[in-house]
Amino acid sequence: MDSVLVSDDIYVRDTVRTAVKILVVGHFAVGKTTFVGTLSEIRPLHTEERMTQAGALVDDLAGVPDKVTTTVAMDFGRMTLSEDLVLYLFGAPGQRRFTQLWHDLALGALGALVLADTRRLEQSFDVMTMLEEKDLRYAVAINRFDGAPTFPDAELREALDLLPETPLVHCDAREPASSTRALIALVRHLLAGDDQERA
């Protein structure tokens, strides 16, 4: 289906007044796009930005012919959670060089779900550091891959160097219930932090 204009169900319900977002982050091929696609009520959308390697948005290439540019893509989907509220899920790359994109993504985000793969745990460090720099709270979800090794949670926490209060959950990004539970763990964590700040 190429023409998006023929379908009515792409639109946000008339009653919705609040739109929020949660980031789904992690390294290449960790399952971000799958996770977003599993939960989204719309066909997931995709945007691309051209960026310089330094991370600035490229506004005119003619003036800077020697700059190296790259394309950064993100996938996102939508969940209508009540008459009034929609939640957007943004699957975003965890590369440090995409500063402007990260600024846009982090602005106003409720929090982030970090997807991790037990075969490549160390590749999650970069994105977790970036979230901490942006002061975005997160939970970690180990995405189950067939054939990937399993470890006790205590070992995973140590390997990922998680704070005691940071939730660690397991999910299968192909399964709606499992993916929803991972988001619930994140939002419960955000609410708990909110309570602490108010206390």
Partner 1 sequence: MTRRRHERALVRPHVVTGGRAHPTRNIFDLVTLMIVAYDDDLSDLSPEKHRVMELCGGGALSVAEIAGHLKLPVSVTKVLLSDLVDSGHITTRAGVPGVDAPDHRVLQEVLNGLRARL
Asked if residues 165 and 197 have their Cβ atoms less than 8 Å apart, the reply is no
3-state secondary structure of 118: coil
Based on the shown chain and the rule CB under 8 A, indicate whether residue 103 belongs to the binding site for partner 1.
no
**Using CB under 8 A, which residues numbered 107 to 136 contact partner 1?**
107-108, 110
User: Cβ of residue 46: shortest distance to partner 1, in angstroms?
Assistant: 6
Based on the shown chain and the rule CB under 8 A, indicate whether residue 54 belongs to the binding site for partner 1.
no
Cα 65 to its chain centre, rounded Å, is: 33
Task: List the 69-80 sheet strands across, edge first.
Answer: 45-52, 69-80, 85-93, 18-26, 111-116, 138-143, 168-171
- Torsion, Cα 5 43 191 108, to 10 degrees, reads -50
Based on the shown chain and the rule CB under 8 A, indicate whether residue 16 belongs to the binding site for partner 1.
yes
Judged by beta carbon, residue 108 or residue 147, the one nearer partner 1 is 108
Based on the shown chain and the rule CB under 8 A, indicate whether residue 102 belongs to the binding site for partner 1.
no
Residue among 21, 185, 189 at smallest CA distance from 89: 21
Please give the residue ranges that form the binding site for partner 1 (CB under 8 A). Answer: 4-5, 8, 10-14, 16-21, 42, 45-50, 57, 59-60, 62-63, 76, 78-79, 81-82, 84-88, 90, 104-105, 107-108, 110, 176-177, 180-181, 183-184, 187-188, 190-191, 194-195, 197-198
